[in-house]
Amino acid sequence: MSFETKSTIATFGGKLLKLSHTSTTTKTPMNVNLYLPPASSTTKVPVLIYLSGLTCTPDNCSEKGFFHAAASAAGIAILYPDTSPRGANLPGETDSWDFGAGAGFYINATVEPWSGHYNMESYVTSELPEAIFEQFGDKLDSGRVSITGHSMGGHGALTLFLKNPGKYRSVSALAPICNPSQCPWGKKTFAGYFGTRDKEEWKKHDATELVKGWKHDGGKLPLLIDVGTGDNFYKQGQLLPENLEKAVKEAGVEGVKFRYQEDYDHSYYFISSFAKDHVEHAAKYLF
């Protein structure tokens, strides 16, 4: 389904397009933002997908993530999907901020009624990029795509990269949920979207479990992770980066960089402080 352009905003020499389309995957209208750097008016540019965290729409990072200065300089487009279907009208969908609306977790739910709409993994890996490259094929290079994200979106970036070897050139994450089957957010979500009967199924959507089987590219993983030491969600055990770090080491996976940033919290003050590094990390693999 083609995109309607709701608004076009000039920023850092490029354009931020606020788009909307009807998704056949989620069976709802979906909003998505696309930043086109100035280079896209003369050449096809690569794309960095940014997956947002709990409660976010495509606007949070577009407005206060400060990715556009670096993306403009590097000549990289940024695609900001929404974090869940909206308006599916499922019972309980808007009862809590960490499940349902705004909390799609970039997985395909298998439990009803969520399975009818909450298929954000298929939406982000297939329907959305296919539709974007069809409509903006003169500006975007479908063969050069990287992925990044924050918190729940960091979990999305890590798992979608690890589940789809070769689909993305690189991956990075800011304060990602690294071991969802072991943290409160992940346990609540996986129980709700997958059920509790088969916990082995949960492991297929957990970066710490997935990295143990990473063999692609000779075991090299082009991953950058930043976590703030003043992040309350980190302190509460929602992120568990040390579990992923340990799994990476034990599996002999190479090329991964973990950085613990002194005093930074979980907010967009943290994200915007390191946005440039994440664009430049992607640029190393996209050019």
Contact residues: ligand LAXINWYW, CB under 6 A: 53-56, 60, 97, 150-152, 266-268
Catalytic residue status for 151: yes
Give φ, ψ of 270 to 5 degrees. -70, -50
Selecting among 52, 62, 84, 151, the annotated active-site residue is 151
Selecting among 150, 155, 205, 266, the annotated active-site residue is 266
Which tokens is 263 given? 């005093």
By beta-carbon proximity to ligand LAXINWYW, the closer residue of 17 and 152 is 152
Q: How far is the CB of 154 from ligand LAXINWYW (least distance, A)?
A: 8
By beta-carbon proximity to ligand LAXINWYW, the closer residue of 54 and 77 is 54
Q: How far is the CB of 63 from ligand LAXINWYW (least distance, A)?
A: 9
Q: How far is the CB of 145 from ligand LAXINWYW (least distance, A)?
A: 22
Q: How far is the CB of 93 from ligand LAXINWYW (least distance, A)?
A: 15
Q: How far is the CB of 185 from ligand LAXINWYW (least distance, A)?
A: 7
d(CA 75, CA 61): 18
Catalytic residue status for 7: no
* Amino acid at site 102: G
By beta-carbon proximity to ligand LAXINWYW, the closer residue of 56 and 162 is 56
Catalytic residue status for 41: no
CB 68, CB 14: distance < 8 Å: yes
Selecting among 181, 231, 278, 281, the annotated active-site residue is 231
Q: How does strand 140-149 pair with strand 77-81?
A: unpaired
By beta-carbon proximity to ligand LAXINWYW, the closer residue of 99 and 136 is 99
By beta-carbon proximity to ligand LAXINWYW, the closer residue of 51 and 253 is 51
Give φ, ψ of 191 to 5 degrees. -60, -40
Residues acting as catalytic residues = 151, 231, 266
